[in-house]
Amino acid sequence: MPFQIIRQDITKMNVDAIVNPANPLPGFGEGIDSAVYAAAGNQLLEKRLELGVIEVGNSFLTPGYELTAKYIIHTVGTYWQGGGEGEEEILRACYRSAFFIAKENKVESLATPLLASGSYGFPKGIALRIALSEIEAFLSACDIQIYLVVFDEQSYRLSSELYGDIDSYINERYVEEKNLEEYPSGKRKRRERNINQCSDEYHEIVHEFASCSYRSLDEVIGNLEKTFMEMVFTYADQKNITDAEIWRRANLDKRAFSKLKCGKTKNPSKTTALALAIALELNLDDTKDLLSRAGLALSRCSKQDLIVQYFIEHKVFDVLEINTVLFDHNEAPLGYQLID
């Protein structure tokens, strides 16, 4: 099952289990830990007092009590001390031990906060890198729905911690059509700008065509009649990627991928098509070609498309990281939607 980032109060998540950043000593600490104990009721505190001291990096399971979640997986982190005291490995151990407990208890849906990024003081960029890599490693072997839950919009600007230049990349290329609606008097200026932009795009296309490696005539003819999914599997065969690797890398629900593969869904949504292009690690030309076979195209008027293009140009083919940036920019994430 896929991965999602959502903005929500983790105590209200309707999942099998939530992860709680716990106090190593009996009792509860600040922030999320305190909120979880308040929402779960007095029985949770009684249970915690029974368990005694828990070592850092370890996790333990309790019932959810008054929460919607059936279980709470408590994990004990450590304070950030500059990075030289093994903090990163302890945080990774927190995720791994929590995920192990989830698997052992046959949890099918799990919600976790961005561990250690609050009162423990981890830089959010480091905390996010660790979270994404551990989640990705876990999902490569286990079929569990995982939610990364953030709550305070002002406290989490996740993508800026990863890619500080992405906003300038978008601003240089993005055509904000709402300006025409809000400032109709600037229509002529806008038209001139669009004409100049189209001219720039034309020269850009010519440059890309001139600089790209040519395909042989046999390759062009051989791929001419292939459908979107036929091309997906052509690329997969070339790169020795299995079906399971494709849908996991694309952050797709297995059933959604199966519908596409079996032809029950004729063409994918834009988010699914982009996710598959990323999963196959296609360059920009091949991505455009693949999209065209589903009647789709990249647009400079779409922030989502520009963000995906940014990652392709930087040869970063990680859907989880891309979705983090899309989340920050209020754009639809790639891959996880079920296909009707």
Where a domain ends, among 103, 131, 156? 156
Using alpha carbons only, give the angle 291, 137, 13 rounded to the nearest 5 degrees.
85
Per-residue pLDDT, 149: 92
Model confidence over 261-318: pLDDT tens digits? Answer: 887 777 889 999 999 999 999 999 999 999 999 999 999 889 999 999 999 999 999 9
Q: Are 212 and 85 in a shared domain?
A: no
Where a domain ends, among 156, 185, 215? 156
Q: Are 185 and 301 in a shared domain?
A: yes
Domain count, the chain: 2
For residue 109, what are the CA distances in angstroms to 4, 18, 62, 197, 246? 11, 9, 16, 46, 21
Q: Give me the active site residues, please.
A: 33
Domain that holds residue 85: 3-156
- Which stretches of the chain drop beneath a pLDDT of 70? 1, 152-164, 175-224, 337-340
Distance CA 159, CA 326 (A): 8
